[in-house]
């Protein structure tokens, strides 16, 4: 349990009482009660209020809010307020201001704006976190710490440059080692003095979006930035833990946010939390995959849904309203996939600045007679009814899809073979097929224990880090099924090619050699022609993006290309390796192939779907203490028929016993406990 003080799914969200007068607070209290809200995240952007000048702290307003919220029965997720530095700090200490990729020194403004290597920022952010922890350590309202807010971005200032050199010296030891690792003889880049190394910005190696001349330095700068920002988080974490060792600490992550290596970050979070902002056209399977990734960061431990909007965003190009029922449906989607909290941004809509049109539980009209409030209150009541039943329940997947941040940097930064290559999109293709088949899936990091799984899929595993190939071999040898795709096994962690034929270190387990890689134009397609019937796969399917020209070296050829000069060369292979097998998909297939392929793999590995649910109906399962809860989420606007098979269930929200055929209403949710 995240904190046993509140043994239910936490309900509430970001709240900014400092922007309002006292009589509004009384209204908030009344309406929180009506909505079943029991958690408020406060103090997210109040650094300037808390520390009006360098040597002057003033927590009177926060004391009042903590006491008031406690008295009215609301717990607090207490932020450390360091998500935006005060104006006086920016003026007095220019080192806190970032330098952007074009070399511009930022002025005061915006948020998430501090240089992560600024001595001033580090000193004062840790100091205020410590002061807050000391002050509120015994406060009965305190439930969890929320450090800063949505860390991210990059800085290219002189401090960062100097720290980067120190970081490189630690990593490589000598300049010879660094020159070799980055292959600096290319374009005459050999370094003879550490001081010659400058950050890879638009003034040096990079241009545009993720374009670079030197992958080695660009990759290392991303690692360095992710680490530098993590260090800032850890300084606050340590300052807090000195006073409240037993109160959990988190910071809100952002799903597939590209710039921070969240698997590394998660090691230092007591609980993972994240902000979920899909838009109207985000596939529900993409949101599901992101929840699964957030759960995977800590090997399946429940996470917090820290933010979502009750109705609409303000920062998307078109801020559609969540249709009636969708907020509830998407809240349960998070819970189904491992969230033990449902929190919003924000509880009350602000009056001014850029988030005044962002949805909130309490809208500008100020009363409870709104569609949004009614929906929120209804969900609040249900979460109270569910109590602690679902808390800490875990998912049990037999399929793991590997996702790796460093690999995402490498595939983004690489020059060629195609600008259309999108690692996350390729990962989603596999996830989407499994999602449609109602197969429970984990999203896992390269460090995860593969032996928990029967099927491990590592799409576009372009960068193969030390030890990964060995791990894949051991997993496969022991009977596992391993799948990878085109553009895998090509480089090491510095983007240096593994010589001796693609897919490099994965060649042995796959039993193939990829001689060349063809990049297709967006409107160009090739064909996957099955060599016979395999399960539901027969005939031909479309593929595109990249086509590896593969030779089987021991692997069995299941399908061949149907077009072009490499017609007849393998496009789908299977290699027996020890007790298991390893598949290679040499091009990016269309959806119907994917579905058939994944269905075959699951069938062969004996992995069962959770339910035979119709199109648009999502399933996910959590279990604990011998009880298992099957979530059925109808994303269709219309009712759907469900065939429950021979099983008997109790539906937790209605208490009804269900078996045989049942109807799930449009946008409805069932939480079925197996009897
Ligand atoms: C982010 C931030 C919040 C708020 C919301 C708006 O998630 O953490 O402070 O700006 O976006 O959607
Ligand atoms: Zn900097």
Residue 36 lies in a domain: yes
Final residue belonging to a domain, choices 558, 582, 605? 605
Residue ranges of the chain whose pLDDT lies below 50: none
**Average pLDDT across the chain, whole number:** 98
Report the 10 Å Cβ neighbour count for 123: 12
User: Ligand 1, residues 46, 151, 355: which to mutate, most atoms within 8 A of Cβ?
Assistant: 355
**337 found inside a domain:** yes
Pair 350, 380 in one domain = yes
Burial class (CB in 10 A: 0-12, 13-18, 19+), 311: buried
If asked whether residues 470 and 598 sit together in one domain, one would say yes
User: Which residue among 44, 150, 252 is best mutated to probe the pocket of ligand 1, counting the most ligand atoms within 8 A of its Cβ?
Assistant: 150
Q: Residue 83: what pLDDT?
A: 97
Q: Give the pLDDT of residue 225.
A: 98
Residue partners of 389: CB distance under 8 A and separation at least 6:
629, 652
Kindly report the CATH number assigned to the domain that includes residue 514: 3.40.50.880
Q: Does ligand 1 lie within 6 Å of residue 404's CB atom?
A: no
One domain, residues 559 and 425: yes
User: Which domain covers residue 492, as residue numbers?
Assistant: 399-605
160: annotated binding-site residue?
Answer: yes
d(CA 271, CA 297): 10
* Cβ of residue 274 lying under 6 Å from some atom of ligand 1: no
185 marked as binding residue: no
Q: Is residue 174 part of a domain?
A: no
Same domain, 265 and 299: yes
Q: What is the pLDDT of residues 564-615, one digit of tens each?
A: 999 999 999 999 999 999 999 999 999 999 999 999 999 999 999 999 999 9
CATH of the domain at 623: 2.60.40.1180
Burial of 185 (0-12, 13-18, 19+ CB in 10 A): exposed
Question: CA 74, CA 17: separation in Å to the nearest integer?
Answer: 13
The per-residue pLDDT for 645 is: 86
Measured from the Cα of 254, ligand 1's closest atom is 7
CA of 304 to the centre of ligand 1 (A): 15
Residues 17 and 124 in one domain: yes
149 a known binding residue? yes
Six-digit token string for 226:
């992710």
* Residue 112: per-residue pLDDT: 86
User: Cα separation of 35 and 28, whole Å?
Assistant: 10
Q: Is the CB of 146 under 6 A from ligand 1?
A: no
CA distances from residue 601 to 65, 329, 373, 449, 575 in whole angstroms, order as listed? 55, 30, 45, 20, 13
In a domain, 554, yes or no: yes
Q: Please identify, among 605, 630, 646, the residue that sits at the C-terminal boundary of a domain.
A: 605
- Are 471 and 570 members of one domain? yes
* Same domain, yes or no: 601 and 472: yes
**157 labelled ligand-binding:** yes
Residue 316, in any domain of the structure: yes
87 located within any domain: yes
* Domain-located, residue 406: yes
Q: Which contiguous run of DSSP H or E holds residue 92?
A: helix 87-92
420 and 381 together in one domain? no
What's the number of domains the chain is made of?
3
**HSE toward the beta carbon, residue 329, CA cutoff 13 A:** 24
CATH assignment of the domain containing 371: 3.20.20.80
Q: Is the CB of 15 under 6 A from ligand 1?
A: no
Do 374 and 446 sit in the same domain of this protein? no
- The whole-angstrom separation of Cα 605 and Cα 494 is 35
599 vs 577: CA distance, rounded Å: 21
Domain match, 364 and 425 both:
no
Domain end point (choices 334, 365, 386): 386
Beta carbon of 221 within 6 Å of any ligand 1 atom: no
Compute the distance from residue 95 Cα to the ligand 2 centre, in Å. 7
Identify which of 3, 294, 315, 316 has the alpha carbon closest to the alpha carbon of residue 140: 3
471 and 375 in one domain?
A: no
In a domain, 393, yes or no: no
Q: What is the pLDDT of residues 329-378, one digit of tens each?
A: 999 999 999 999 999 999 999 999 999 999 999 999 999 999 999 999 99
CB of 151 within 6 A of ligand 1: the answer is: no
Co-location of 522 and 376 in the same domain = no
pTM of the entire predicted model: 0.98
Nearest-angstrom CA–CA distance, 107 and 97:
7
Rounded Cα distance, 340 and 535, in Å: 39
Specify whether the CB–CB gap between 496 and 216 falls below 8 A.
Answer: yes
| Nearest residue (CA) to ligand 1, atom 10 | 355
Indicate which residue's Cα is closest to atom 12 of ligand 1.
Answer: 313
């Amino acid at each position: 349990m995240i904190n046993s003080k509140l043994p239910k799914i936490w309900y509430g969200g970001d709240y900014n009482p400092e922007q309002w007068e006292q009589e509004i607070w009384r209204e908030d209290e009344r309406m929180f009660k009506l909505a079943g809200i029991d958690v408020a995240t406060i103090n997210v952007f109040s650094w300037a209020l808390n520390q009006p000048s360098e040597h002057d702290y003033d927590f009177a307003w926060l004391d009042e809010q903590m006491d008031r919220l406690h008295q009215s029965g609301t717990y607090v997720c207490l932020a450390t307020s360091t998500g935006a530095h005060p104006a006086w700090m920016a003026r007095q200490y220019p080192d806190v201001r970032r330098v952007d990729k074009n070399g511009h020194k930022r002025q005061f403004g915006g948020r998430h704006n501090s240089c992560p290597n600024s001595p001033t920022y580090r000193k004062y952010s840790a100091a205020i976190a410590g002061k807050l922890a000391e002050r509120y350590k015994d406060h009965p309202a305190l439930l969890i710490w929320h450090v800063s807010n949505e860390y991210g971005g990059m800085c290219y200032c002189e401090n960062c440059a100097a720290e980067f050199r120190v970081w490189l010296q630690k990593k490589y030891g000598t300049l010879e080692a660094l020159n070799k690792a980055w292959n600096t003889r290319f374009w005459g880049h050999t370094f003879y003095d550490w001081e010659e190394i400058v950050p890879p910005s638009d003034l040096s190696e990079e241009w545009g979006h993720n374009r670079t001349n030197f992958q080695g330095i660009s990759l290392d700068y991303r690692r360095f930035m992710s680490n530098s920002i993590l260090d800032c988080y850890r300084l606050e974490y340590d300052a807090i833990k000195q006073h409240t060792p037993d109160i959990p600490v988190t910071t809100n992550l952002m799903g597939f946010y590209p710039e921070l290596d969240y698997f590394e970050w998660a090691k230092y979070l007591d609980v993972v939390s994240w902000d979920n902002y899909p838009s109207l056209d985000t596939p529900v399977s993409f949101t599901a995959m992101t929840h699964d990734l957030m759960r995977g960061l800590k090997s399946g431990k429940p996470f917090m849904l820290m933010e979502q909007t009750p109705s609409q965003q303000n920062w998307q190009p078109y801020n559609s309203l969540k249709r009636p029922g969708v907020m509830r449906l998407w809240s349960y989607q998070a819970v189904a996939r491992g969230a033990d909290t449902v929190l919003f941004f924000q509880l009350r809509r602000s009056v001014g600045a850029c988030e005044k049109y962002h949805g909130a539980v309490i809208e500008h009209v100020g009363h409870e007679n709104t569609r949004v409030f009614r929906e929120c209150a209804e969900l609040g009541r249900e979460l109270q009814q569910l109590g602690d039943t679902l808390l800490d329940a875990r998912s049990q997947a037999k399929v793991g899809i590997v996702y790796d941040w460093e690999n995402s940097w490498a595939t983004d930064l690489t020059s060629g073979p195609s600008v259309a290559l999108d690692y996350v999109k390729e990962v989603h293709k596999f996830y989407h097929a499994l999602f449609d088949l109602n197969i429970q899936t984990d999203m896992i990091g390269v460090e995860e224990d593969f032996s928990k799984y029967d099927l491990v899929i590592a799409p576009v595993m372009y960068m193969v880090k030390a030890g990964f190939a060995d791990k894949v071999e051991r997993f496969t040898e022991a009977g596992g099924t391993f799948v990878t795709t085109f553009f895998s096994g090509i480089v090491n962690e510095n983007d240096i090619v593994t010589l001796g034929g693609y897919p490099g270190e994965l060649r042995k387990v796959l039993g193939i050699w990829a001689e060349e890689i063809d990049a297709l134009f967006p409107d160009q397609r090739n064909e996957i022609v099955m060599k016979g019937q395999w399960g539901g796969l027969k005939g031909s399917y479309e593929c595109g993006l990249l086509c590896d020209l593969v030779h089987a070296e021991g692997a069995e050829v299941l399908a061949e290309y149907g077009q072009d000069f490499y017609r007849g060369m393998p496009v789908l292979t299977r290699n027996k390796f020890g007790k298991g097998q390893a598949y290679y998909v040499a091009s990016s297939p269309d959806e119907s192939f994917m579905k058939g392929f994944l269905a075959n793999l699951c069938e062969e590995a004996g992995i069962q779907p959770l339910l035979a649910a119709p199109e648009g109906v999502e399933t996910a399962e959590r279990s604990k203490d011998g009880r298992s809860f099957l979530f059925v989420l109808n994303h269709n606007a219309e009712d759907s028929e469900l065939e429950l098979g021979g099983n008997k269930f109790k539906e937790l929200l209605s208490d009804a016993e269900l078996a045989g055929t049942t109807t799930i209403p449009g946008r409805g949710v069932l939480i079925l406990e197996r009897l």
